Amino acid sequence: MEFRIADTFTDSLGRLTTQEQKAVKMTAFDLQLNPSAPGFSFHKLDRAKDANFWSVRVNADIRLIVHRTASSLLLAYVDHHDAAYKWAERRKIERHPTTGAMQLVELRALSVLRGEIEPRRHEEHEEGAKPKLFDNLRKFELMAFGVPEEWVNDVRDATEDTLFDVIAHLPQEAQEALLKLAVGEKPTPAEPAPAEADPFAHPDAQRRFRILSNVEELQRALEYPWEKWAVFLHPSQAALVERRYSGPTRISGSAGTGKTIVALHRAAHLARTNPEARVLLTTFSKGLANALRVRLTTLIGNEPAVAARVTVKAIAELGRDLYTERFGRPNIAAPPLIRTLLETSAAAVPGHKFSAHFLYGEWTDVADAWQLKSWEAYRDVSRLGRKTRLGGKQRESVWAIFERVRAGLAERKAVTWADVFGRLTESLAGGERPFDFAIVDEAQDLGVAEARFLAALAGGRPEGLFFTGDLGQRIFQQPFSWKALGLDVRGRSFTLRVNYRTSHQIRLHADRLLPASVSDVDGNAESRLGTVSMFDGPPPIVEAFASPEKEQAAVGAWIAQRLREGCQPHEIGVFVRSEGQLERARAALKAAGAESVEISDKVEVTSGAVALSTMHFAKGLEFKSAAVMACDDQIVPLQERIESVSEDSDLEEVYDTERHLLYVACTRARDHLLVSGVDPVSEFLDDLLKTRL
């Protein structure tokens, strides 16, 4: 007998108490081992329209809802007795007559009876009424997108105001198609499955039903009810995970579209399908690497042979370890040392007017990043990403300064991170490579030296490199040409457009901080147009206050309200631009009466405490509710960065990354978002409230 689990079961399990969950899991394990064992109390649900729905007693109050046939048993739902029965009475599991996918369908008649859907009216179009979004589509066209037959007329009646009310009752593939149609996209219906095909094997069915072949797989599914990605993968994501590629590949998408999910599954897929291969999963920060490691354990923790061949490390940690292994532990030059050497070297070279800020940027983004070791190399470099033009004589002066910096580093036996990766890159030429495949998450924040190292690491292997990232979230690195480093992703760039993490309202507001399309230096464009969110929610709150004290009190009251509504402390995040504003956030949390933990690369989110962080450490975090505080004028964008710019042309880069930072912070929220500041507030807050034309 096939044993299946539905995503509705993992959702409902997560809403129970810890003790109730333990009892449910024990019953589920017993059912999987022997569903016909004596002692199980199966009860046929006579009032359910689907004759295959049964309840299974967990304890005096909790009931499992299972869908049982002669050949299969499906865990569909779990709840307290009355609520579980009502859920089953309103649903049926059936094969869609057009697509051939097995669906879990809500009964329209009961939704009307309960007042969730308005009964259809046949009056003439009222003056001033909003137009119907899908009235131009015929029944067979809507059903081709997976709309259940009994819901077709409601879909055709849907307006901009009622769309989310209707699609909340539809299977996910229908929701996605209708949302894309509503924003002007033209989704392509999937090919209908043959009549004899298994409806559970259809890609659309795979996103909600999964066969579990052993106790370990069931344990994994039940242990992480809020991380359905470990079991249920969207068909478009699965296609990218399992596809064979002819060169470096990049997966993009706005925040919440599942890029990290794809990276994790890609790492697992490569390790499974290449039994002797060594796989690297890396990202730019230690905190994100730790989060990836935890999630990967969730995904393949029951496959020790696979897990043993996947290494998860931050790129800097990887570089340090490999360098130590091959050349001895590196003495990394700290930024203050570099600045000191630049200042003393600049003072020793006469006849120039370069500022300390310009020299540090030129060193960091050009000379050191590209590992330029000779005057000829610096003379001929294109200096992509640097706005200030330099003539030949000026370059000679700059190089004279940099030669002295190099000599100062050598005298101290110190190296930069770019030196570390540069020497490792040279050592890989013709030598043994420590990994066969590398998957890089948050790839938009890779530096030049790290990217060149990864290109050498792949050694020309077609599927050796797989990148995931979002140019709209670049907050650390200057843009540079990937193609110049041998990382040409043209023709192998794919964009995810279904947002699972962020509500429609939050995504819509956050996207206003960024242009509709962002391009890299090589001309690869990433568009935000056509991205859809899978659920509705309250609009974000954007407020300005007369004083920090009033802002702290209001944010504290907002956090307290979220806690009263049932949001757990660790499901709330509070973000500020930099450390100088942390005290304001601490005061707000004190006003809310909430415990907090400050997040960094070394400290992670813990249960029982609200997460507090600067925007730079928000990457990779997800919360049901998030407050972004202290968005005052001169704080966002940070006045210190603006004042450090020596050329007006460099302001664009400052403003871009400051916008990206605020976008990253806002998109950590799933359901509730509060953005606040003290008058005069950041100019970016006006953009949050504008309608994009």
Tell me: the pLDDT tens digits for 541-593?
A: 999 999 999 999 999 999 999 999 989 999 999 999 999 999 999 999 999 99
Q: Is the peptide bond before 479 cis (omega within 30 degrees of 0)?
A: no
What pLDDT does residue 624 have?
A: 93
Q: Are residues 57 and 204 in the same domain?
A: yes
> Helices 235-242 & 259-273, crossing angle to 10 degrees?
40
Residue 227 belongs to some domain of the structure: no
Residues 492-519: tens digit of each pLDDT: 999 998 888 899 999 999 999 998 888 8
602 pLDDT band, cuts 50/70/90, is: low
Per-residue tokens: 546:
């007369």
* Residues 630 and 504 placed together within one structural domain of the fold: no
In a domain, 498, yes or no: yes
Same domain, 606 and 488: no
- Confidence class of residue 647 from pLDDT cuts 50, 70 and 90? low
Residue where a domain stops, chosen among 362, 393, 414: 414
Q: Which of 527, 552, 583 represents a domain boundary (last residue)?
A: 527
Kindly give, in sequence order, each residue whose CB lies less than 8 Å from that of residue 64, ignoring residues fewer than 6 positions away.
24, 27, 28, 31, 55, 56, 57, 58, 75, 77, 78, 84
Per-residue confidence (pLDDT) for residue 116, from 0 to 100: 58
Residue 197 sits at φ, ψ, to 5 deg, of -75, 150
Query: Is residue 321 over pLDDT 60?
Result: yes
Query: Which residue in the block uniquely carries the two structure tokens 């049932």?
Result: 566
Q: For 606-644, what is the HEC assignment?
A: CCCCEEEEEHHHHCCCCEEEEEECCCECCCCCCHHHHHH
For residue range 77-120, what is the model confidence (pLDDT) as tens digits? 999 999 999 999 999 999 999 999 999 999 987 665 555 555 55
Distance, CA of 420 to CA of 481 (rounded, Å): 21
| Residue 693 pLDDT class (50, 70, 90 cuts) | very low
pTM: 0.81
Same domain, yes or no: 409 and 448? no
Report pLDDT digits (tens) over 206-259: 888 988 777 777 776 676 544 455 567 777 888 999 999 999 999 999 998 989
Q: Which residues constitute the domain of residue 453?
A: 233-326+421-527
- Beta-strand relationship, 91-95 and 310-314: unpaired
Contact 315, 284 (CB under 8 A): yes
Report the 10 Å Cβ neighbour count for 375: 14
**Does the residue 189 lie in any domain?**
no
Instruction: Dump pLDDT digits (tens) for 371-421.
Output: 999 999 998 888 766 666 787 888 999 999 999 999 999 999 999 999 999
For residue 577, being part of any structural domain is answered with yes
CB 232 within 8 A of CB 449: no
Read off the pLDDT band of 690 (50, 70, 90): low
Same domain, yes or no, for 471 and 577? Answer: no
Distance CA 526, CA 479 (A): 14
Check which CATH number belongs to the domain holding 544 and give it: 3.40.50.300
- Same domain, residue pair 569 and 643: yes
Structure tokens at 577: 């631009």
pLDDT for residue 154: 92
pLDDT by residue (tens digit) across 135-172?
999 999 999 999 999 999 999 999 988 898 899 899 99
Please report whether residue 596 resides in a domain: yes
Tokens standing for residue 219: 């344990």
211 and 117, same structural domain? no
Same domain, 74 and 213: yes
**One domain for residues 299 and 448:** yes
DSSP state of 483: G
The reported pLDDT for the residue numbered 225 is 45
Cis peptide before 637 (omega within 30 of 0): yes
What pLDDT does 386 receive?
Answer: 65
Query: Average pLDDT, whole number, for the chain?
Result: 89
What kind and span of H or E run contains 677?
A: strand 669-678
The predicted structure's pLDDT at residue 118: 59
Q: Which of these three, 505, 527, 549, is where a domain ends?
A: 527
CA distance 192 to 380: 57
Helical H segments across 363-471, by residue range = 375-380, 392-411, 417-428, 448-458
> What would the mean pLDDT of 628-651 be, rounded to a whole number?
84
pLDDT for 659: 93
Q: Is residue 144 part of a domain?
A: yes
176-180 mean pLDDT:
90
Number of compact structural domains in the chain? 5
SS3 state of residue 242: helix
pLDDT band at residue 130, thresholds of 50, 70 and 90? confident
CB atoms within 10 A of CB 369: 24
- Tell whether 552 and 655 lie within a shared domain: yes
**What burial letters (b/e) apply to 629-651, b meaning 16+ CB within 10 Å?**
bbbbbebbbbeeeeebbeeeebe
> Which of 292, 298, 332, 341 has its CA nearest to residue 312?
292
446 and 305 in a common domain: yes
Q: Are residues 580 and 682 in the same domain?
A: yes
Domain membership of residue 285 (yes or no) is yes
